[in-house]
Structure 1
Amino acid sequence: MTVLSVEELERLATEALRQAGAGAAQAVPTARALVQADLAGLPSHGVSRVPMYVAHLRHKRVDGNAQPTLAHRTPGTTLIDAQSGFAFPACAEAVEAAIASARECGIGAGVVTNSHHFGAAALHLDPVAQAGMIGIAMGNSPAAMPAWGGRTPLFGTNPIAAVFPRRDADALVIDLSLSEVARGKIMVAAKQGKPIPLGWALDAEGNPTTDAQAALHGAMLPAGGVKGAMLALLVEMLIVSLAGAHFGAEADSFFEDAGNRPRIGQLFLAFNPRGFAGDAVYHARLEALVAAMLSDSGTRLPGTRRVEAQARARQHGIEIPETLEKELRELANA
């Protein structure tokens, strides 16, 4: 392993994307978002994705010079078309619009269509928490899980995240994919030649497997069995019907260099407590629940590990495999 500063990692990631054809308006926010995932202790959604993004640029699966456009707006809702660019610039616009709507209406929704991989879902919600609002994020993704009882991948891992700001403490952050684990963890295991636990995935023949490579060509298993499968279905229907995006089964795998433009979607919701029972009630009830949780010895608040990881990384730098550093430098011509 090797340790790099946040600034150096952002520079390498940005330059790698630019060398592959992305303009600054796409490369800079995308690189920054990936590094933020590493900062938060989420390496499966961090700069380990840069080689994949570079391959997608080279194979025209993503438009590195796309400019997100406003497709539709009402007082409470906004639809942003990512124009087949990277997700991060379009998602930032959608989140900003959701916050603005929530200030006016109490609740706001920002939806993105014709999009790409949007990384760690919860990180998009930082501006919502900073605005003192509750945030929810979700997105669909290329087919990785079968419908309940089936074996052919149809839905994505379809992550859901939420953030609940606190007045004098770090926000509560909930972030989960609806598969047993995020597919990025299997990607990392495959790159490192490591096995995965039984129960994470099926191979292409529908058999349980511990082979990460076989899992990438098979199907993920839903978290919590039928309940996870139903939640994945919910996200799929909600995103696609509101955004007009591709179903997961219509988007080629992110883990293939060549393929179609995924054109998937994301949804962001912002709830302004002032539009409901008010800030004072929101904070009083939230802190009462937090106190009850912490009264039970051993309880860990959601988001705590992320805050601890960020503090360590800012002080000591970000640790990545030496092979990844070498690959990033080669892609960046650095």
Structure 2
Amino acid sequence: MKWIRPSSFTWVLFLTTRGPEVAASEHDTRIPFHELEGLLKTIFEHHGTSPAVARTLAHNCASAQRDGALSHGVFRIPGYLSTLRSGWVNGQAVPKVESVAPGFVVVDACNGFAQPALEAAHNLMLKKARANGIAMLAIRNSHHFAALWPDVEPFAREGMVALAFVNSMACVVPFGGKKPLFGTNPISFAAPRAGADPLVFDLATSAIAHGDVQIAAREGRSLPNCCGVDAQGNPTTDPAAILNGGALLPFGGHKGSALSMMVELLAAALTGGNFSFEFDWSPYPGAKTPWTGELVIVIDPSRGAGGDFAKRTETLVQEMVWAGQPRQPGERRYLRRAEAMAQGVIIGGEELDHLRELAGVV
């Protein structure tokens, strides 16, 4: 291990090895980021998306793999393709962007993916936030099947504070309840830092992300206690029992449940999207992506803190370090990102071979 110094007055310890979930094995390989992105773009186009949608999804998925967010990286490709084959999602959709108020943008994703809808509204959101101090984006009729931090980090790199909320399919039992009602319903936040990458977090309001449960089931691993229940409502650490008729639990009991409820109202009721329990995909075998909504809020901090907000953020970060917090939100992603851009993105050898087969390049 080695020591690095992220600022002039703070020392942190950085282990040069990755966490166990991204540790390279003898069966893994590395691929340049642009090659992985291009390979995924080819796959998406080959399976029915437009070139524009393919480009956006490929960048999003490759970025998650690059940054070590494996539950939202190439692991998601089979789900994307299965959904496209089912006819549940429109891979050719062109989002319809509408300015409905000085600080309000709405986008009808037209039964397409949420990322192209957000991309279509990005510049207008920045313009409105800078003009009015705040802007809100309501996306409806959309499918979100990815990590949420990529939706807010770009705004923070433009000097903005950003929040995003998205609901998903019903797989979480509300506190004290007996059946799934909420989605994993993540919340993401990003803020600019002076002289450093943005402060970013992305957390599910469920005890564990649904993708992490899927990975645990695939690898035959048990989950921690208090993550989910089986089909009879009994607590279980077996990911298969959660996925096959069971459900996840909210994190923090009633507190996480309340936040999940809030996300349903913001991402679905406010946007005009579906609640997590409202859509029926049973006529579309193979569908995996939830058909819901997303809300994004972008704030120009210069309206309240002048030019000092990024410095104030950095002051708080340094105090968190001095208080003993070993890692700041987003820090591990940035370290993995830097390593991947220098050495290549880690991916399993068999997984890479399969991607090339899907792209029709072998």
Regarding TM over 0.5, the answer is yes
Q: For residue 333 of structure 1, what is the aligned residue in structure 2? A: 360
Post-superposition Cα deviations, 1:6-63, rounded to whole Å, max 9, x if no partner, equal: 1222122112211211110111110110111111210101111111000100001111
Q: For residue 50 of structure 2, what is the aligned residue in structure 1? A: 23
> In structure 2, what residue type is equivalent to 1:314?
M
- The percent identity for this pair of structures is 39
> In structure 2, what residue type is equivalent to 1:238?
L
> In structure 2, what residue type is equivalent to 1:94?
A
Map 1:137-152 to 2 at 5 A. Answer: 137-152=164-179
Cα distance change on mapping 1:327 and 1:209 into 2, 3 Å: farther
Larger mean CA deviation between 19-28 and 87-96 belongs to 87-96
Q: 1:93 aligns with which of 110, 115, 120?
A: 120
Q: For residue 323 of structure 2, what is the aligned residue in structure 1? A: 296
Stretches of structure 2 that go unaligned for 5 or more consecutive residues are 1-27
Q: State the SS of the aligned residue for 1:82.
A: strand
Give the alignment's TM-score, normalised by structure 1. 0.93
Separation of aligned partners in 2, 1:290 and 1:79: 34
Stretches of structure 1 that go unaligned for 5 or more consecutive residues are none
Q: Which runs of 4+ in 1 moved over 6 A?
A: none
Q: 1:108 aligns with which of 119, 130, 135?
A: 135
- C-alpha contact 1:190 1:212 (8 A) present in aligned 2: yes
Separation of aligned partners in 2, 1:318 and 1:206: 40
Q: For residue 285 of structure 1, what is the aligned residue in structure 2? A: 312
Larger mean CA deviation between 143-152 and 188-197 belongs to 188-197
Q: Indicate whether 1:184 and 2:211 are aligned.
A: yes
Separation of aligned partners in 1, 2:221 and 2:266: 35
Following superposition, the deviation at residue 252 of structure 1 comes to 5.1
Q: For residue 300 of structure 2, what is the aligned residue in structure 1? A: 272
Q: Indicate whether 1:232 and 2:279 are aligned.
A: no
Larger mean CA deviation between 40-49 and 190-199 belongs to 190-199
Q: 1:201 aligns with which of 228, 237, 252?
A: 228
Separation of aligned partners in 1, 2:289 and 2:344: 34
Cα distance change on mapping 1:296 and 1:244 into 2, 3 Å: same
Following superposition, the deviation at residue 284 of structure 1 comes to 4.1
Larger mean CA deviation between 89-98 and 122-131 belongs to 89-98
Give the alignment's TM-score, normalised by structure 2. 0.86
Q: Indicate whether 1:47 and 2:74 are aligned.
A: yes
Q: For residue 197 of structure 2, what is the aligned residue in structure 1? A: 170
- C-alpha contact 2:165 2:266 (8 A) present in aligned 1: no
Following superposition, the deviation at residue 161 of structure 1 comes to 0.7
Larger mean CA deviation between 21-30 and 9-18 belongs to 9-18
Task: Pick the structure with more helix per residue.
Answer: 1
- C-alpha contact 1:250 1:262 (8 A) present in aligned 2: no
Q: State the SS of the aligned residue for 1:227.
A: helix
Q: 1:64 aligns with which of 60, 66, 91?
A: 91
Q: State the SS of the aligned residue for 1:250.
A: coil
Following superposition, the deviation at residue 170 of structure 1 comes to 1.5
- C-alpha contact 1:91 1:266 (8 A) present in aligned 2: no
The number of residues matched between the two structures is: 332
Separation of aligned partners in 2, 1:298 and 1:148: 30
Q: Indicate whether 1:211 and 2:235 are aligned.
A: no
Separation of aligned partners in 1, 2:348 and 2:289: 29
Q: 1:130 aligns with which of 146, 153, 157?
A: 157
Post-superposition Cα deviations, 1:157-212, rounded to whole Å, max 9, x if no partner, equal: 11001111012111111110111111111111222333322322212221222222
Cα distance change on mapping 1:261 and 1:200 into 2, 3 Å: closer
